[in-house]
Amino acid sequence: MPMHEVSPPLSRLLGQTADAVAAVRAGRSLTEILAACPAELRGGAQALSFQVLRTLGGAEAALALMAPKVPPPAVSSLLVTALALLWPGDEPPPYAEHTLVDQAVTAARVRTPAAANFVNAVLRRFLRERTALVAQARHSPVGAHNHPLWWTERVRQDWPAQWVALLAAANQHPPMALRVNARRGDAAAYLQRLASVGRPASVPPDALIGGQAVVLAAPCAVTALPGFAEGEVSVQDLSAQRAAPLLLGGGANVGGIGIPPLRPGARVLDACAAPGGKTAQLLELADINLLALDSDARRLVRVQDTLTRLRLPAPGSSVELQAADARQPRQWWDGEPFDAILLDAPCTASGIVRRHPDVRWLRRPDDISALAKIQRELLDALWPLLAPGGRLLYATCSIFKAEGQQQIDAFLQRHASEQPRLDPASPGHLLCLPDNPGIPVGQSPSNSAGDGFYFALIHKT
């Protein structure tokens, strides 16, 4: 008799999701929480957690209207989970309303039996008065935009013309973008392979990445991607895919942006390498000698796993992985200058919140200045390691100008006597919008807009 996979009860998924939401509200990373989740619940809990965290501000505002006295954390997290899943939106709800309420009450009876009737009353009231409660919840900025107030104010300050669209885009599901291993094929050929297994996709009209980038019409598990296990393709956002071609220059599908290619065998530093996507892309696109640093030795294991799957480095290239703080060159540098340096600096990750919706709730206002200090220290420590005529690509997955334009403006002023030159091909800030200021019109269609990023390519005279 064939065995059939049995889905876990919705009440268990809701309970697991509520625990994840409670942990995020207490300051823990969702990635860490889900890693400890029972395997049979992990996929469902992740999908529900993402949806809840994208609507958490509204759900919390509505709960405050119905329950002025704050419930205990276990009860509150279950209620905001259910309220967020009942929230009106552009997509159909994941479950029928009566089913979700019934299963939330079942979860309450297991978790907090004394509060089950209260949970039932709140959720049924929300269904009865949903239109009015949602409208009232949206009167507050947090309820309207589903971001902390300080975050909303920062985005508004940095992007006065686009701030509403940016916050709305951060609450959307991101497209699934792929990078075809240039050592094994190209985007056009892989598009045909995807079509042969019934997975429609497109190639973005972008001269910098169009030869290797593919955007799926619908996300899928990596195990469903032809050739993934064999190293033919990787998952990587479109904005992130711009880093390696920008650093490597004309020999890497840059489509006439005017950056000369690095010589074969060039010495390259990837200063903050983990988890390894950009490390791998550098080795896919050019024959270089690469030193990949990361301050966390455990994260370098993931980099090595990625390189092994992709069968990198190829003949003609070399790579060394080393655990070290890039800000302390005396501890790891051998004294030989680098021809090129990729500094994908630690940042707030404000540009990738649609992929990591917990980030907005975990960050605090002073994180920006603390991370900007680290970015400044990295820039100042690595710049002397660059050979004359070399290039440094500074990158952050942030839309905050303090981590992008303002950081590089200050760097250029500090080092003015050395005459660093900002390459005009530098995209600057990339926004998760169709009318992206860093990409020519028509090259970033709305269905495949990349994440928020900042890139500055600086040449050393």
Residue 131's domain is classified under what CATH number?
Answer: 1.10.940.10
Residues 453, 444 contacting (CB under 8 angstroms): no
Q: What are phi and psi of 455, to 5 degrees?
A: -130, 135
Question: With bands split at pLDDT 50, 70 and 90, how would you rate the model's confidence at 444?
Answer: very low
If you average pLDDT over every residue of the chain, what do you get?
93
Kindly state whether residue 175 falls inside one of the protein's structural domains.
Answer: no
Judgement on whether residues 249 and 129 belong to the same structural domain of the protein:
no
Domain tally, the chain: 2
Judgement on whether residues 245 and 101 belong to the same structural domain of the protein:
no
CA distance 89 to 272: 38
| Of 92-96, 236-240, 265-269, 360-364, the least confident | 92-96
Kindly state whether residue 288 falls inside one of the protein's structural domains.
Answer: yes
Judgement on whether residues 399 and 258 belong to the same structural domain of the protein:
yes
Amino acid at 31: T
Kindly state whether residue 170 falls inside one of the protein's structural domains.
Answer: no
Catalytic residue among 37, 272, 397, 432: 397
Residues 159, 192 contacting (CB under 8 angstroms): no
**Model pLDDT, residue 250:** 73
Kindly state whether residue 343 falls inside one of the protein's structural domains.
Answer: yes
Q: What is the pLDDT of residues 310-324, one digit of tens each?
A: 999 999 999 999 999
**Model pLDDT, residue 6:** 58
Kindly state whether residue 153 falls inside one of the protein's structural domains.
Answer: no
**Model pLDDT, residue 448:** 54
Judgement on whether residues 405 and 286 belong to the same structural domain of the protein:
yes
153-165 mean pLDDT? 96
Alpha-carbon 218 to chain mean position? 18
Q: Which residue has the tokens 């403006």?
A: 409
214-226 mean pLDDT? 95
CA distance 142 to 58: 7
Q: What is the pLDDT of residues 321-351, one digit of tens each?
A: 999 999 999 999 999 999 999 999 999 999 9
Cis omega before residue 275 (within 30°)?
A: yes
Domain that holds residue 30: 10-146
Kindly state whether residue 184 falls inside one of the protein's structural domains.
Answer: no
Residue 216 sits at the vertex; the CA angle it makes with 456 and 250, to the nearest 5 degrees, is: 35
**Model pLDDT, residue 446:** 40
Q: What is the pTM of this model?
A: 0.93
In the chain, the percentage of residues whose pLDDT exceeds 70 is: 94
For residue 447, pLDDT beyond 60? no
Kindly state whether residue 65 falls inside one of the protein's structural domains.
Answer: yes
Question: With bands split at pLDDT 50, 70 and 90, how would you rate the model's confidence at 208?
Answer: confident
Judgement on whether residues 258 and 358 belong to the same structural domain of the protein:
yes
Phi-psi region of 460 (alpha: psi -120 to 50; beta: other; left: phi over 0): beta
Q: What is the pLDDT of residues 356-393, one digit of tens each?
A: 999 999 999 999 999 999 999 999 999 999 999 999 99
Amino acid at 162: Q
| Of 51-55, 201-205, 278-282, the least confident | 201-205
Cβ neighbors of 163 (< 8 A, separation 6 or more) are 152, 155, 156
Q: What is the pLDDT of residues 396-416, one digit of tens each?
A: 999 999 999 999 999 999 999
**Model pLDDT, residue 445:** 41
Residue 278's domain is classified under what CATH number?
Answer: 3.40.50.150
Domain end (from 99, 126, 146): 146
Question: With bands split at pLDDT 50, 70 and 90, how would you rate the model's confidence at 93?
Answer: confident
**Model pLDDT, residue 68:** 87
**Model pLDDT, residue 24:** 97
Judgement on whether residues 261 and 395 belong to the same structural domain of the protein:
yes
Domain end (from 146, 181, 206): 146
Judgement on whether residues 122 and 248 belong to the same structural domain of the protein:
no
Question: With bands split at pLDDT 50, 70 and 90, how would you rate the model's confidence at 92?
Answer: confident
Amino acid at 218: A
Residues 281, 252 contacting (CB under 8 angstroms): no
For residue 443, pLDDT beyond 50? no
Within 68-143, strands assigned E span none
Judgement on whether residues 254 and 139 belong to the same structural domain of the protein:
no
Q: Is 94 helix (H, G, I), strand (E, B) or coil?
A: coil
Domain end (from 114, 146, 178): 146
**Model pLDDT, residue 449:** 77
Amino acid at 301: V
**Model pLDDT, residue 7:** 77
Cβ neighbors of 50 (< 8 A, separation 6 or more) are 357
Half-sphere exposure of 390 (CA within 13 A, CB side): 21
Judgement on whether residues 136 and 255 belong to the same structural domain of the protein:
no
For residue 303, pLDDT beyond 60? yes
Determine whether 397 is an active site residue: yes
Judgement on whether residues 259 and 119 belong to the same structural domain of the protein:
no
Q: What is the pLDDT of residues 35-73, one digit of tens each?
A: 999 999 999 999 999 999 999 999 999 999 999 898 999
Kindly state whether residue 151 falls inside one of the protein's structural domains.
Answer: no
